[in-house]
Structure 1
Amino acid sequence: MTLDEYAIEYGTDKASTHHNYTAIYERVFSPVRESTKGLLEIGIGGVNYKGVAGSSLRMWASYFSNAQVVGVDIDPSADKDYGDRVSVVIGDQTRRSTLDKALGLLPSVDIIVDDGAHINNLTVATFEYLWPRLRPGGIYVIEDTVCVGELRLGNTRAQTEQLVLTLLRGLEVNGRIMAKGNAADFYKINPDYVLNDYERWVESVELYRGVYVIRKREK
């Protein structure tokens, strides 16, 4: 079955019947479908969720048949049995204790999907903590980015725009490195040069309507 077929079966709003994120995810994840061993999703859906709680966890577990799937949510009502290879951690997505507990349940941190609070400062804080813990070659997804300007959430576009600019600068490698004469080949940069985490590890940044996909370098 395709990812979208699983999404429709389990009732997640990622399906073509709603946001249609599965059209993006099929392209992004199909090459790593068999090799993915661990996926973390922030946001399960609790008592106030209008959709089907845990539906995307079931979708991921069915699609990535060799993976352990862990969901994080702040709402205790989200703590349910969502099937084999699915675990739940209840807690705040910006608490190290919550995230460390979730990461500890995965054999490998291959994919991270943030479908959590959709509050920009929380999204950025979560990314900053989890990015170094994503394995080399892994994929980080920030979902529902159409919310970045919603004032009812306390969001301003500048908060997420700054993160994107930081990632792009890291991707291209900043000016002080370029001035060393290494513009032609990233991999020949002398290890003495001080690279920040994004300069060293960002492989690509893909921006779609509602979804950002950030890939980490293999080495």
Structure 2
Amino acid sequence: MGVNEQYFWSNEGTAIDKWHSYLPVYDRYFAPFRDKVPRMLEIGVQNGGSMQMWRDYFGPDAVLFGIDIEPECAKLNGLAGQVRIGSQADRAFLKSVIDEMGGVDIVLDDGSHQMSHIRASLQTLMPLLSENGLYFIEDLACSYWGSFGGGRGRPGTTLEMAKDLIDDMHHWYHDGHVNWPEFKNMIGGMHIHDQILLLDKASVPEPKRTMRGTDRPVWKGPPTGGTNGSAS
């Protein structure tokens, strides 16, 4: 059992509301940041319990900020981290928070789950995320539910956006059309877990292919300048 799992299941204090499957995902992807004093922004504070879990995990020097549209969350400011009141769809507000943080390494969107809000936050924050940073979007089930602007196969949902981003990541190999040009060559990897979309921020260079070794008894290699054929 991972560190965050242990904290969650032993917690008897401030409430933390999580799907069970999320906990090992946190431990898997947060581990490389644990000793690096990360700057983390959580969208959606609720009772503040998850911010306490992040504080316990990342330590006293980590820069932890949470935002929420609920004014009552202001009373949680200064406990496990800093809390600012505002909408995740307000781009100027988001930028002001990142400025206050001095940059951001991890974004965890557990906010309104409205499709338009998720897109607005991603379009604002992904370009501001540090190189090798992580961007989590939680509760992907909302992409199927009409009350959140979702619907199976409906354009504009988070899951449909993820499908578009897969094509965008591979624009080198098709007609070159990019659905989300603001993220072009900015996403180094994408991970889908049960109800979680995770994006890796990385500057992506043009792919290059090399065949090393002179002994080629079966396949001699691609034609000069070509990129077709099996690679092994």
- TM-score, normalised to structure 2, is 0.75
- Counterparts of 1:115-134 in structure 2 under 5 Å? 115-134=110-129
Match of 2:27 in 1: 26
Amino acid at match of 1:211: I
Match of 2:66 in 1: 71
Say if 2:165 is the partner of 1:171.
no
Query: Which of 73, 81, 84 is the matching residue for 2:76?
Result: 81
Instruction: Work out whether residues 106 and 134 of structure 2, in 8 Å CA contact, stay in contact via their aligned partners in 1.
Output: yes
Larger gyration radius, structure 1 or structure 2 = 2
Query: Which of 10, 15, 19 is the matching residue for 1:11?
Result: 15
Amino acid at match of 2:73: A
Q: CA deviation at 1:82?
A: 5.5
Moved over 3 A (4+): 81-85
When residues 177 and 126 of structure 1 are mapped into structure 2, their CA distance, relative to the original with a 3 A threshold, is: same
Match of 2:185 in 1: 200
Q: Distance in 2 between matches of 1:68 and 1:84?
A: 13
Match of 1:56 in 2: 50
Match of 2:200 in 1: 215
Q: CA deviation at 1:96?
A: 1.8
Q: Distance in 2 between matches of 1:73 and 1:201?
A: 27
Amino acid at match of 1:209: D
Match of 1:185 in 2: none
- TM-score, normalised to structure 1, is 0.79
Deviation by residue 1:36-94 (Cα, 9 ceiling, x = unmatched): 4200010011xxxxxxx011111111111131111010000111235556101101111
Amino acid at match of 2:50: S
**Higher mean C-alpha displacement, 201-210 vs 93-102:** 93-102
**Higher mean C-alpha displacement, 116-125 vs 156-165:** 156-165
**Higher mean C-alpha displacement, 146-155 vs 65-74:** 146-155
When the two chains are superposed, the root-mean-square deviation of aligned CA atoms in Å is 2.3
Query: Which of 119, 135, 140 is the matching residue for 1:140?
Result: 135
Amino acid at match of 2:51: L
When residues 153 and 215 of structure 1 are mapped into structure 2, their CA distance, relative to the original with a 3 A threshold, is: same
Amino acid at match of 2:40: L
Q: CA deviation at 1:143?
A: 0.5
Q: Distance in 1 between matches of 2:148 and 2:58?
A: 32
State percent identity of aligned pairs.
28
Q: CA deviation at 1:161?
A: 3.0
- Relative contact order higher in (CA < 8 Å, ≥ 6 apart): 1
| Unpaired stretches in structure 1, ≥5 consecutive residues | 46-52, 179-194
Instruction: Work out whether residues 72 and 91 of structure 1, in 8 Å CA contact, stay in contact via their aligned partners in 2.
Output: yes
